[in-house]
Structure 1
Amino acid sequence: MNPKLPDPVQEDLRQAHRLEWWTLTWMSSVVIVMWFVMGSSQAMKTALVEDILSLVPAVVFLVALRFERRRPNAAFPFGFDRVQSLSSLIAAVALCAVGAILIFDSTSSLLSQEHPTMLPVRVFGHDIWQGWLMIAGLVYSVIPPMILGRLKQPIAHRLQDEVLDTDAMMQKADWMTGLAGIIGIVGTGFGIWWMDAAAAAFISLSILKDGVTSLRVATAELVDGAPRRLGRVDLAKDSLKLHERLSELYPGSKVRLRATGRYIHAEVCGPLPHRAPTVQEVWRGNPERAWRLAQISFVPGSGSTS
């Protein structure tokens, strides 16, 4: 972990690291179970695709964390903090893909009036309606992501980690898709053929909305946008307070802030100060998040405050 980070932040990073490995383990088992019980149900097929794609954020988080630990070198003199922004983009694209796939598959099934078939299967010498096996598989697919997502969400907020937050939203999409699948299969059992695909279509809209929001935030970071609120497109309150404080300390200067992964970099363009300020002097947000201010740069120039 980064030795410059406070101990509580480093502990959160270690916990997030463990949670992502748990995610890969449990969600892989979910994929295997869903593969064996999916049958011809549209909701089951889309849930399986969604469960496979849900592994992407966990993988990119672990890869990004490994790179983030590396020290700056001649090839990368500014370090690897921005790899977290790139990972956010990859995770957001995966979430958007889940929503888009769900919408396409479910809509296609509704338009083609595809009737899912759930014939009896023989298990231990007894004939069992295949729908019961599907429901059992979906119930199992709901439990791990519901628990993991709820564990990740508070850590993501404390770390201001977009990848972990997107992963938590992916976990939410997992269990919501599972519940929608159960509703669809029960409806199919009662002869309501369209409920299977309609349930998947309904839940896909919320998933796609979350994915688009995450994509907008990740894109803003990569083009040096001002820091955003976690999982939102509006500007972060800590960032606004920092901008206000720097403008007060250096009137007539142009203050610019940008997000680099979970960190904030500030640039003050104007007359050079006699001394560099301390973090305590400029940070007006939550003191526990002062570690986010990674750098304050002073650039000679005349610019006006913005």
Structure 2
Amino acid sequence: MNRTEEETGQGGRGEPAPETAEASGHDALPEEQRRILRRAIRLEWISLACTAVAVTLEIAMAGQSQAMKAAWIEDALALLPPLAFLVAVRRIRRRPHAEFPYGHHRSIGVAHLVASVALLAMGTFLLIDSAITLIKVERPPVGLTIVAGHAIWSGWLMIAVLILALTPPLILGRMKKKLTEPLHDKVLYADADMNTADWSSSTASIVGVLGIGIGLWWFDSAAAILISFSILHDGGKNLRGALRGLTDGRARTYDDAEPHPLIGQIEERARDEDWVGDAVARVRDEGHVFHVEMFVVPGDGRAVTGAQCEDLRAALRDVDWKIHDVVIAPVAEIPSTQAFRG
């Protein structure tokens, strides 16, 4: 793929992005969403660089501190969401073909699942490891170190590193969260959540190190356990959302808080057609965009033409950019089941 394709998502000869339902990858996004996606990609590269530096410093200063160990492991985990995001957005550039007729939009969902599983697994490890340390009453030694010829308590150096480590996630997490809704990107949302956990865990680790300094050795393991609960919460929430999307659950908002309002909007738009008596949609979240199966009952026994279906298909896609792939299915009646009536 040449430079024009890589940066704009357009065709190989610089043509404008197609406006048909067959457009895929970045071509399925309006120009505003492409601009937001480019910004998100830049933020993720910055996140990778900042996190790599933070992990290196934390490993160097960890010693036998359980809280510092938890902090660098969580920061290492924070590399997964941006990596998964960058791989996914590159993969969705590929166009549909015989083996992947729906395109590759669900790469976003796969990336969400990968990050969620890793987050949940490592949260479990940290909880068990920290609890065992607390039960065994293992007191982590934090001694003195020589800096420029002066003896300094190593805890102060740990705290300085942790303060440096919490600053980028605090800033970048807020910047990413602002992009998640307009882009409808759940991986980016999970990453913003992870950034929140990062700076929160660094704060907890600072408390743990200070606890060691004043003789409360259990503060260290207690802080690590607190961090692990934060990881488990985020991992569980994101795992449920990822599995819902990949198993064709009803499309929900970017934060999985509720069913997406677009479902009701496109059903109302279909019913506005004078030849439609009733209409109900099944909507799947493909990543950034939705796949819609619109079941319509013709009014007053009218015959349905291909032109009418095509016009309705175009009208539904005009409701919102996320309505990407639409199938119109004329039926005699809508089944009165929970699968259709939510």
Cα shift readout 1:138-188 (whole Å, capped 9, x = no counterpart): 111101111111110011121110111111111111111100000011111
Distance in 1 (alpha carbons) for counterparts of 2:277 and 2:227: 50
Distance in 1 (alpha carbons) for counterparts of 2:256 and 2:29: 25
Distance in 2 (alpha carbons) for counterparts of 1:247 and 1:32: 58
Q: CA deviation at 1:76?
A: 2.0
* Equivalent residues of 2:134, 2:218 under 8 A apart: yes
**Secondary structure at 1:291 match in 2:** coil
The answer to whether 1:95 aligns with 2:132 is no
Equivalent position of 2:327 in the other structure:
297
Query: After superposition, where does 1:38-187 map in structure 2 within 5 Å?
Result: 38-187=62-211
* Equivalent residues of 2:172, 2:195 under 8 A apart: yes
Q: CA deviation at 1:124?
A: 1.7
Of 275, 285, 296, the residue aligned with 2:309 is: 275
Equivalent position of 1:193 in the other structure:
217
Distance in 1 (alpha carbons) for counterparts of 2:264 and 2:217: 52
The answer to whether 1:266 aligns with 2:281 is no
Equivalent position of 1:213 in the other structure:
237
Query: What root-mean-square deviation, in Å, do the aligned CA atoms of Structure 1 and Structure 2 show?
Result: 2.2
Larger Rg: 2
* Equivalent residues of 2:70, 2:227 under 8 A apart: no
* Equivalent residues of 1:57, 1:94 under 8 A apart: no
Q: CA deviation at 1:255?
A: 2.5
**Secondary structure at 2:100 match in 1:** coil
| 1:247/1:188 CA distance change after superposition, 3 Å | farther
Distance in 1 (alpha carbons) for counterparts of 2:115 and 2:27: 26
Amino acid at match of 2:282: R
Distance in 2 (alpha carbons) for counterparts of 1:246 and 1:57: 38
Cα shift readout 1:160-219 (whole Å, capped 9, x = no counterpart): 101111111111111111000000111111111111111222233233122211111111
Cα shift readout 1:259-293 (whole Å, capped 9, x = no counterpart): 11121111023555623345785479xx7xx1100
Cα shift readout 1:214-251 (whole Å, capped 9, x = no counterpart): 11111111111111122225322233433454466544
Identity percentage of aligned residues: 38
| 1:94/1:242 CA distance change after superposition, 3 Å | farther
TM-score normalised by structure 2 residue count: 0.82
Q: CA deviation at 1:88?
A: 1.0
**Secondary structure at 2:258 match in 1:** coil
Distance in 2 (alpha carbons) for counterparts of 1:123 and 1:238: 60
Moved more, 63-72 or 249-258: 249-258
* Equivalent residues of 2:270, 2:312 under 8 A apart: no
Amino acid at match of 2:291: H
Aligned length: 302
Amino acid at match of 1:212: G
| 1:96/1:247 CA distance change after superposition, 3 Å | farther
Amino acid at match of 2:96: P
* Equivalent residues of 1:150, 1:168 under 8 A apart: yes
| 1:299/1:278 CA distance change after superposition, 3 Å | closer
Distance in 2 (alpha carbons) for counterparts of 1:126 and 1:109: 32
Moved more, 244-253 or 220-229: 244-253
Q: CA deviation at 1:136?
A: 0.9
Equivalent position of 2:18 in the other structure:
none
Structure 1 unmatched runs, 5+: none
Of 240, 243, 246, the residue aligned with 1:222 is: 246
| 1:94/1:251 CA distance change after superposition, 3 Å | farther
Q: CA deviation at 1:116?
A: 1.1
Distance in 1 (alpha carbons) for counterparts of 2:332 and 2:236: 38
Distance in 2 (alpha carbons) for counterparts of 1:119 and 1:278: 72
| 1:34/1:198 CA distance change after superposition, 3 Å | same
Distance in 1 (alpha carbons) for counterparts of 2:121 and 2:69: 15
Amino acid at match of 1:302: A
* Equivalent residues of 1:157, 1:230 under 8 A apart: yes
**Secondary structure at 2:34 match in 1:** helix
Distance in 1 (alpha carbons) for counterparts of 2:196 and 2:68: 17
| 1:65/1:27 CA distance change after superposition, 3 Å | same
* Equivalent residues of 1:103, 1:204 under 8 A apart: yes
